[in-house]
Amino acid sequence: MDTRQFFERWITAMNELDFAAIETMVHPDFVAFYPQSGERFRGFASFRAQLENYPGGLTRDSADREHADIVETDERWAISPAFTVVPLTQPGRYTTIARIGYPDGTQWRTVTLVELRDNKVYRAESYFAPELPAPLATSIPSYGRQ
């Protein structure tokens, strides 16, 4: 299957909390990393335990499939807060962007840098941020424009 099909299968399995399907998609040497909290999960069993013991519990259909996207083909780069240039795509690598619901009812955005090996998720580095309201139009400076 191509990368987009793989991603769609992954998000479906996560939304359905189908751990059997997720396990078939995870490489034996899988590592997930959440840099914001410093959490690192080695292997599927560790990753599953983190998901099953998430405070507030997981809910089905927490990822908004309509607003989920994958960056897989174009060469794209991002600049981190430390001004490090990070590739978003390479062969065997892609980036996912999704809107997810947290157990407390808030909506968050997640960006995950994924590396595939042997057609399975080998590495996943995820960043999370809450959705913020847009600023009021009157609070945006005009910077000299009339």
Q: From first to last of its 146 residues, what are the pLDDT tens digits of the chain?
A: 677 788 888 888 988 889 999 999 999 999 999 999 999 999 999 999 988 887 777 777 777 777 777 766 666 677 777 777 776 666 678 888 888 888 888 889 889 999 999 999 999 999 999 988 877 666 555 555 44
SS (H, E, C) 10-47: HHHHHHCCCHHHHHHHEEEEEEEEECCCCEEEEHHHHH
C-alpha dihedral, 27 to 28 to 29 to 33, nearest 10°: 60
| DSSP conformation class of 65 | G
Contact 40, 33 (CB under 8 A): yes
Distance CA 27, CA 11 (A): 17
3-state class of 139 per DSSP? helix
Write the CATH number of the domain with boundaries 3-128.
3.10.450.50
pTM (2 decimals)?
0.74
